Structures are given as C-alpha cells and as structure tokens.
Structure 1
Amino acid sequence: MLTTSQSQESPADRAGRYLRMADRVRNMAWRATGHEVKEAYLDLAMQWVFLADEARRERRAANDA
C-alpha cells in the first residue's frame, strides 16, 4: 500500500527509490547461502530495476509532452 507521500512522488523520485530497493535486494543476494534463494533475490532486483526504467520513461514522456 502506498503512503500519501509515495503516491505524490515524481517519476524521478520513484526511480531512485526503486534503484535503492534493487541495491538492498542485491545485497541480500550476496548474503544468501542457498543458490535458489540467491537467484530469487537477483530476479527481484531485476524487477526493481525494470520499474525504475519504467519510471524514467514516464518522466521522459512527461517532459516531451
């Protein structure tokens, strides 16, 4: 669930938050001992990066309009 402050974030702010989450999850992957757990964390990190890219595209589209 989004808080009021998160729902009012700019696309650039969202992209930054998503990238920070990707970094946190990658750090979890480094500390994970099981291969499957490590893979799951890395997959999740990739999804956060994808969301950051989407937010960046949204920002660019808004700037081009």
Structure 2
Amino acid sequence: MLNPGKSYESPAERAGRYLRMADQVRDLAWKASGAEVKEAYLDLAMQWVFLADEARRERRAANEA
C-alpha cells in the first residue's frame, strides 16, 4: 500500500523496505503447513529480493551519473 504522507522514497530506502518484506514473507513460509504454500511464499520472497537488487542498481546508476 502506498503511503500518501511520504512523497519520495530513495532507492536505498526502497531496497530496505523490499528486504524487510522478503524477511516477513520468509517467516510466513516457515510457519506455513503445506509445501505448495511454503513454495509460494519463498517465490514471493525471491521477488522482493529481486526488487531490492533493482533498487540498489538504480542507486548505483544515479551515483555514477
């Protein structure tokens, strides 16, 4: 959900938020009872990590410009 009170989030802040989301989803995976549910949560966690990596690349590109 978007935070209407915050107008700008830096790539580093976004990466941190994405990694926190990945951690939360991994926790859900370990608590899940079914293998399919665990796998879905772990897949989602990997997507959050991918987004964090993208934000880090964005930050590096901005720093190099």
Which TM-score applies when normalising by structure 1?
Answer: 0.93
**In the alignment, which residue of structure 2 is the partner of 1:60?**
60
Unaligned runs of 5+ in 1: none
Give the number of aligned pairs: 64
Q: State the identity %.
A: 81
Which TM-score applies when normalising by structure 2?
Answer: 0.93
Distance 1:32 1:59 in 2: 35
Q: Note the alpha carbon deviations across 1:17-42, whole angstroms, 9 max, x for none.
A: 00000000000000000000000000
Quote the RMSD (CA, aligned, Å): 1.0
What code does the residue aligned with 1:41 have? Y
1:39 aligns with 2:39: yes
Structure richer in helix, relative to its length? 1
Distance 2:27 2:3 in 1: 25
Unaligned runs of 5+ in 2: none
